Amino acid sequence: MLSTQIARYVSLYRSLGRKFSEQERLLRQYAAFAERFGDRHTRVQRIYDWCHTASSQNVARHRYDAARNFSLFAHAENPDNEVPPVGVFGRGKRPRPTPTIIEADQVRAIMAAALNVPPHGTISPYTYHYLFGLLAATGLRISEALALQCNDLVEDGLVVRNGKFGKQRLIALQPSTRQALEAYIAIRAKHPAKCNDLFVTIRGRAPHKVRAHVVFVRLARLLGYRGATGTAGMRLHDLRHTFAVRSLESCPRDREAIAHHMAGLSVYLGHASIANTYWYLEATPVLLRDIAAASEQLFQGEAA
């Protein structure tokens, strides 16, 4: 039943520390509407019909976004669930959460703790160990990493075929990152898999990104890097954010060099606009201090 699937979906998000009360309310309404027609799986037309009963465009968009996100989760477990396209009822804006800059020793601790993820003696602990390491070393989105195939590791780097907005790109790898991926592929070869996904669990296919988030948050809590359920803190996406920030911190303090570095980083991260890359300038006191110092020098020069 849809209600049962929704209960599991809500439980997963609450384990990440989110209240998820509004999403649960909307999804319960959707389940009641769909189950009156005997639906046992998500149906695109039913989602449209439910959203059209909303009192306003804004309410319809919130309904649609909640139902679509749930559809993605349900489809990953059972392809009989249909997934509607993005943005049919428009797109709303929400503030970005405050990022956490993860220290190198924290990344190492999380990766080490991942090797103890149950069930022991299976591929899963290695998968999360190397997955989190790859995210930290490359700044990939979790969706991009989980979409990787075994043959995407090529001589020139790593081919990202499932980037945001359907973009494909080739990213260069440090020798240590390549060696780590090759070590994981050797381990993976000893375990049965149902597909060519690079990262697989005991089910023989890539884990759902929600599961990857859950595992990361649980490890962060276990290590004391994040508070109890219901509190904000270190997230899986912070690995990507930290990669971008550290890259910018290492850039030479030269205006032209910074411009070239920003353009290259924007392509490497797969951003649709360089404006999205500039947002990372806000993320760390080191960058803010450099910006303030440059501004003060400019002001003093003009005042002289």
Number of domains the chain contains: 3
- Are both 73 and 115 inside the same structural domain? no
- Are both 285 and 192 inside the same structural domain? no
Report the CATH number that the domain containing residue 177 is assigned in CATH.
Answer: 1.10.443.10
- Are both 154 and 189 inside the same structural domain? yes
pTM over cut 0.85: no
Residue 292 zone, left/alpha/beta (φ > 0; ψ -120 to 50; rest): alpha
Boundary residue ending a domain (172, 189, 223): 223
Report yes or no on 229 lying in a domain.
no
Report yes or no on 230 lying in a domain.
no
- Are both 197 and 256 inside the same structural domain? no
- Are both 145 and 215 inside the same structural domain? yes
The per-residue pLDDT string of the chain (304 residues; one tens digit each, 9 = 90 and over) reads 899 999 999 998 888 777 788 999 999 999 999 999 999 999 999 999 999 999 888 889 999 999 999 999 999 889 999 999 988 887 665 556 677 889 999 999 999 999 999 999 999 999 999 999 999 999 999 999 999 999 999 999 999 987 766 678 899 999 999 999 999 999 999 998 889 999 999 999 999 999 999 999 999 999 999 988 777 789 999 999 888 888 877 776 666 666 666 677 777 787 666 566 666 655 555 555 555 555 455 545 544 4
Boundary residue ending a domain (77, 95, 127): 77
- Are both 55 and 112 inside the same structural domain? no
- Are both 254 and 217 inside the same structural domain? no
Report yes or no on 171 lying in a domain.
yes
Domain that holds residue 16: 2-77
Report yes or no on 142 lying in a domain.
yes
| Tokens 């032209």, located at residue | 256
